[in-house]
Amino acid sequence: MDSTLHTKWKECGVPDVHTLKNKHVIVRVDWNMPIIDGVITDTSRFDVTVPFLKELSVAGAKIIILTHFGEKGESLQVIATHVMRALPFISFIPTLVFEDIQKSISKCKEGDGILLENVRMWKGETENIPSLARSFASLGDVFINDAFSVSHREHASVVGIPKSLLSYFGPTFMRELEHLQNALHPEKPALMIIGGAKIATKLRLIEKYLNLGVQVFVGGAMVHTIWKARGIEIGKSLYDETQNLSETFIHHPLLLTPSDVILSNGNRVLYHAIPKDGVVVDCGSETTEALATIIHNAKTVIFNGPLGLYEKGWLHGSEHILTTLAHTEDITSYIGGGDTVSIAHSLHLLKKFTFVSLGGGAMLDFLASGTLPGIDAVTK
């Protein structure tokens, strides 16, 4: 990481919370939690923010909380119910009318907090419309971004508000930066395991780490695009036909791909024996064993993105590797990505890794470039 940038963000941590007494403090969090049948199934993103919000309350700040939820602008009602149960000093204000919000804020006593409705319900949030950012900023005296996981987005509540208010990074954000800056230059031998569907969004990252002398294993549907470029039969498996991968990339000596795969009918075949009507859904046992050997000999492992068709229940490859990584001693391990963290959560392994990033795309973008729009907005 650029040393100047490092110095800048180190200086942008929240000051002594007692200096925020009676101040209106806007806190951007990421409480975009999974909900099934009206029940939150993983509260990790909420849990990490609780200690800081309690500190602010005890210090006498008046807290205004912003978060997004879902992709379609759904109401925060279910999330809000959980929040108010865990943090009784917070009230939910389900309105999009700023005049009504300001009236509620004016009634706040020291230590009270309000949770605004889903920021993506406001027109202009995702487009970073300046007027919306100014309206959000008008609600407070200070802005704290504690949502690293959404800070790769140039949204009004992330990069717009700091243009109008004194701004800081919250402790959850700072923890991400402290750990992930070390992953920018991993101790070798190092292994990066990248899964998921779209190689386009991860190509720059993969190339960067290959050039750093790091072995990079590509799994999930992304590998089908690589195999297609190599002239290997992938059957009816998903791939990105818009990508034109270079010969240098697809044949890089440090680029690793599965040696065997699982098809949708449950059969295991070698990677070069995929039938024309076959659909690859996971990596096979030979591949996971080979990866386990590399992990045992590595000093650093970075894992982001599932290795199988996660949403259809193909978890074997990801579960095997996460379990191996969790029980390997004397290794620095970083995991990230919503699906990856959810799998580790279901296996009760989250405490076994050196660091669990709550940022999926944000983690990858930070590792690829060393900064994010949300970081630049505060440091500049």
Assess whether 198 and 260 both reside in one domain: yes
CB 298 within 8 A of CB 191: yes
Claim to verify: residue 166 and residue 19 sit in the same structural domain: yes
- Domain identity same for 162 and 270: no
CA distance 96 to 99: 9
Domain closes at, from 177, 193, 219:
177
* Residue 374 located in a structural domain: no
Q: What is the 3-state secondary structure (H, E, C) of 113-163?
A: EEEECCHHHCCCCCCCCHHHHHHHHCCCCEEEECCHHHCCCCCHHHHHHHH
- 143 and 188 co-located in one domain: no
Q: Are residues 224 and 269 in the same domain?
A: yes
192 and 167 inside one domain: no
Token reading at 325: 């990584």
Residue 124 within any structural domain of the chain: yes
Q: Which of 115, 150, 177 is the last residue of a domain?
A: 177
Q: Which residue has the tokens 């959560």?
A: 345
- Same domain for 190 and 213: yes
Task: Please check whether residue 24 is in contact with residue 139, taking contact to mean a CB–CB distance below 8 angstroms.
Answer: yes
Check residue 124 and give its pLDDT: 95
Helices (H) and strands (E) in the chain, counts: 15, 17
Residue 376 falls inside a structural domain: no
Tell me the C-alpha distance between 252 and 268, whole Å. Answer: 26
Q: Are residues 234 and 139 in the same domain?
A: no
Residue where a domain stops, chosen among 177, 199, 229 = 177
Query: φ and ψ at 270, to 5 degrees?
Result: -70, 155
Residues 339 and 271 in one domain: yes
In a domain, 302, yes or no: yes
pLDDT score recorded for residue 1 = 45
Same-domain check for residues 354 and 239: yes
Domain, as residue range, for 59? 3-177
Task: Calculate the CA dihedral of residues 238, 242, 245, 250 and round it to 10 degrees.
Answer: 0
Q: How many folded domains does the chain comprise?
A: 2
pLDDT of amino acid 131: 97
In a domain, 380, yes or no: no
Is residue 373 one of the residues assigned to a domain? no
Q: Considering the domain boundaries, does residue 60 fall inside one? A: yes
Q: pLDDT tens digits for the chain (380 residues)?
A: 455 556 677 788 888 999 999 999 999 999 999 898 999 988 889 999 999 999 999 999 999 999 999 887 899 999 999 999 999 999 999 999 999 999 999 999 999 999 999 999 999 999 999 999 999 999 999 999 999 999 999 999 999 999 999 999 999 999 999 999 999 999 999 999 999 888 888 999 999 999 999 999 999 999 999 999 999 999 999 998 888 899 999 999 999 999 999 999 999 999 999 999 999 999 999 999 999 999 999 999 999 999 999 888 899 999 999 999 999 999 999 999 878 988 998 899 999 999 999 888 899 999 999 999 999 999 98
pTM for this entry:
0.91
Identify whether 211 is part of a domain.
Answer: yes
Residues 151 and 233 in one domain: no
CATH of the domain at 7: 3.40.50.1260
Same structural domain, 146 and 215: no
